[in-house]
Amino acid sequence: MSPIEEFLTFVLRRLAGHPDEVFLTHAALDGKDVYTVQARQSDLPRIIGKRGQTIHAIRSLLDATAAKHGGKVRLVVPD
């Protein structure tokens, strides 16, 4: 597991009401690492946050970390 994946798993599981049901899938597309969140439908509002503030903050941290290491990362939360 990569450090980015470990960080994402740690943060998302702390936010979710059912942490054992939070999973990430990884794919590499067009030079970007794309992580897709899989969680209970009832946990998604907690992960996204009010007006998307929580997920925006997580994405900002990911972008900064990826830029520092010369990569690009995208985090997808399905509807």
The pLDDT score that the predictor gives to residue 68 is 86
Residue with tokens 């980015």: 4
Neighbours of 55 (CB within 10 A): 17
Cα-only R_g, the chain: 12
Three-state DSSP state, 34: strand
Tokens of 62: 């990911």
The pLDDT score that the predictor gives to residue 4 is 87
Q: Sign of the CA dihedral 15, 37, 77, 72?
A: positive
The pLDDT score that the predictor gives to residue 14 is 96
**Domains within the chain, CATH numbers bracketed:** 3-76 (3.30.300.20)
The pLDDT score that the predictor gives to residue 48 is 95
- The model scores a pTM over 0.85: yes
The pLDDT score that the predictor gives to residue 69 is 82
The pLDDT score that the predictor gives to residue 2 is 83
78 with 37: CB under 8 angstroms? yes
Low-confidence ranges of the chain (pLDDT < 70): none
